[in-house]
Chain A
Amino acid sequence: MTAPTATLPKAAPATRPGSRPRRRRVSHRTRLVAWLFMLPLVASNVTVILWPAVQSVYYSFTDWSGVGSGQWIGFDNYTRMLGDEEFKSALYHNLIWTAVSLVVPMTLGLFGAYLLSRVRRYQVLFRLAYFIPYTVATVVSAAVWQTLLSPDNGLGSVFGVNFLGDQDLALGTVAMVNTWAFWGFLVVIFLASMQSVNPALYEAAALDGAGPFRQFVSITLPSIRPTLVFLVVQTIIWSFLAFDFVFILTQGGPAGATDVLSTLLYRNAFANLEAGYASAIGVVMALFTAIVVITYQVLRRVRKWEA
Chain B
Amino acid sequence: MSAISALTRPKRLRAPRVAGVSGRRPAGIGGWAVLLILALFAVGPLIIFVFAAFKTQAELVDNPFGPPAKLLWSNFADAWSQAHMGRGLANSAILVTGTVVGTLIIAGLAAYAMARLDLPGGGSVILYLLVSSALPMQMFLVPLFYIWTQTGLYDTKLGLIIIYCATLSPFGTLLLRAFLLTLPRELEEAARIDGAGELRIAARVILPNALPGILTVALITALAAYNEFLFAVTFLQSDAQMPVSTSFFAFQQSYVQNDVLIAAAGLIMLLPMLALFLVLQRRFVEGMANTGMAA
Interface residues of A (CB under 8 A from B): 1-3, 6, 10, 13, 16-19, 22-23, 26, 30-31, 33-35, 37-41, 44-45, 47-53, 55-56, 59, 66, 108, 111-112, 115-120, 123-124, 126-140, 142-145, 147-148, 150, 152-154, 180, 184, 188-193, 195-197, 199, 202-203, 206, 212, 215, 224, 226-227, 230-231, 237, 241, 243-244, 247-248, 261-262, 265-266, 269, 275, 278-279, 282-283, 285-286, 289-290, 292-294, 296-297, 305-306
Q: Does B135 contact A (CB under 8 A)?
A: yes
Q: Please give, as numbers and ranges, the residues of chain A lying within 8 Å of B42 by CB-CB distance.
A: 129-130, 132-133, 180, 184
* A-B contacts, 9 listed (Cβ < 8 Å): A34-B119, A37-B110, A37-B117, A41-B107, A119-B20, A206-B23, A241-B137, A244-B230, A293-B134
Which listed residue (A52, A115, A227) contacts B294, Cβ 8 A?
Answer: A227
Known: A2-B184, A45-B132, A45-B170. A53 touches B140 (CB 8 A): yes
Q: Of B2-10, B31-39, B68-76, which binds chain A?
A: B31-39
Known: A30-B118, A120-B20, A286-B139. A191 touches B293 (CB 8 A): no
Q: Please give, as numbers and ranges, the residues of chain B lying within 8 Å of A289 by CB-CB distance.
A: 131, 134-135
Q: Please give, as numbers and ranges, the residues of chain A lying within 8 Å of B27 by CB-CB distance.
A: 115, 118-119, 212
CA distance A181 to B35 in the complex (A): 17
A286: nearest chain-B partner, CB-CB: B135
Q: Please give, as numbers and ranges, the residues of chain B lying within 8 Å of A137 by CB-CB distance.
A: 226-227, 229, 245, 248, 269-270, 273
Which listed residue (B45, B143, B173, B181) contacts A41, Cβ 8 A?
Answer: B173
Number of A-B residue pairs having CB atoms within 8 Å of each other in the complex = 350
Q: Please give, as numbers and ranges, the residues of chain B lying within 8 Å of A203 by CB-CB distance.
A: 23-24
The answer to whether B18 and A195 have CB atoms under 8 Å apart is yes
The answer to whether A126 and B288 have CB atoms under 8 Å apart is no
Q: Please give, as numbers and ranges, the residues of chain A lying within 8 Å of B77 by CB-CB distance.
A: none
B41: nearest chain-A partner, CB-CB: A180
CA distance A137 to B281 in the complex (A): 17
Q: Does B166 contact A (CB under 8 A)?
A: yes
CA distance A53 to B138 in the complex (A): 11
Interface residues of B (CB under 8 A from A): 13-15, 17-27, 31-32, 34-35, 38-39, 41-43, 45-46, 48-49, 52, 60-61, 64, 105-107, 109-110, 112-114, 117-120, 125-127, 130-132, 134-144, 147, 162-163, 165-167, 169-170, 173, 181-186, 198, 223, 226-227, 229-230, 245, 248-249, 252, 259, 262-263, 266, 269-270, 273-274, 277-278, 281-282, 284-286, 288-290, 292-295
The answer to whether A53 and B135 have CB atoms under 8 Å apart is yes
The answer to whether A52 and B143 have CB atoms under 8 Å apart is yes
The answer to whether A136 and B52 have CB atoms under 8 Å apart is no
What is the minimal beta-carbon distance from A51 to any residue of chain B, in angstroms? 7
What is the minimal beta-carbon distance from A230 to any residue of chain B, in angstroms? 6
CA distance A248 to B140 in the complex (A): 20
Q: Please give, as numbers and ranges, the residues of chain B lying within 8 Å of A241 by CB-CB distance.
A: 134-137
